[in-house]
């Protein structure tokens, strides 16, 4: 029964990985839509943010960045950035005032090296290019996900869908 190799049935067996990838792609699409067409690469920016959040939610497990959990890893990401000295920036993105910029170097320093490597590999860019893209799109994404100046509750997917209305 396991000899049906000709049709390719045995090749795409890793369904567990496929489920994660599909969730990351869905998240990337949602984030891309949320970011709008403000540079022609909103899909790319959404994809890289989706990959980042997917890597932090699934790949990091329950390490020292536990706040934010699996359903809303955005809180965990912001906590990680805050712990890396980017408190003023992250607060400005969540708050209702002007968003403070962040550099790719600051993002690269704040993220676990393996996470940035994975995100870069998924996006087909160098780790520095991935960090630069995250630095450009993350402030806007967080700002749009927190229009009231506070972190909404619920899953990240639900929060994104609500903001698209």
Q: Report DSSP state, residue 149.
A: S
pTM across the whole model? 0.70
What is the rounded distance in angstroms from the CA atom of residue 114 to the CA atom of residue 136?
20
Per-residue model confidence (pLDDT) at position 33: 67
Crossing angle between the packed helical segments 87-94 and 127-145, to the nearest 10 degrees:
40
Question: Quick one: pLDDT at residue 61?
Answer: 38
Cα 2 to chain centroid distance, Å, stands at 38
Q: Is the dihedral of CA 158, 25, 34, 73 positive or negative?
A: positive
Which residue, chain included where needed, has tokens 């970011």? 35
pLDDT in tens, the chain (165 residues): 444 444 444 433 333 333 333 344 566 666 766 666 443 343 467 788 888 888 887 754 333 333 344 467 788 899 999 999 999 999 999 998 899 999 999 999 999 989 999 999 999 999 999 999 999 999 998 998 888 888 878 777 777 777 664
Pick the closest to residue 22 from 58, 68, 74, 65 (CA basis): 58
What would the two tokens of residue 45 be?
Answer: 């920016």
Length of the chain: 165
């Amino acid at each position: 029964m396991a000899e049906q190799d000709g049709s390719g049935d045995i090749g795409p067996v890793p369904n567990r990985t496929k489920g994660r990838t599909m969730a990351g792609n869905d998240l990337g699409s949602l984030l891309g839509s949320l970011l709008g067409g403000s540079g022609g690469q909103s899909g790319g920016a959404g994809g890289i943010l989706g990959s980042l959040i997917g890597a932090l939610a699934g790949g990091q497990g329950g390490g020292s960045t536990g706040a934010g959990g699996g359903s809303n890893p955005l809180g965990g990401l912001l906590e990680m950035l805050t712990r890396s000295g980017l408190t003023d920036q992250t607060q400005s993105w969540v708050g209702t005032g002007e968003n403070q910029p962040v550099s790719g170097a600051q993002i690269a320093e704040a993220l676990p090296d393996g996470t940035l490597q994975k995100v870069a590999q998924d996006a087909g860019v160098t780790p520095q290019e991935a960090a630069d893209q995250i630095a450009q799109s993350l402030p806007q994404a967080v700002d749009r996900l927190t229009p009231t100046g506070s972190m909404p509750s619920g899953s990240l997917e639900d929060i994104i869908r609500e903001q698209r209305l």
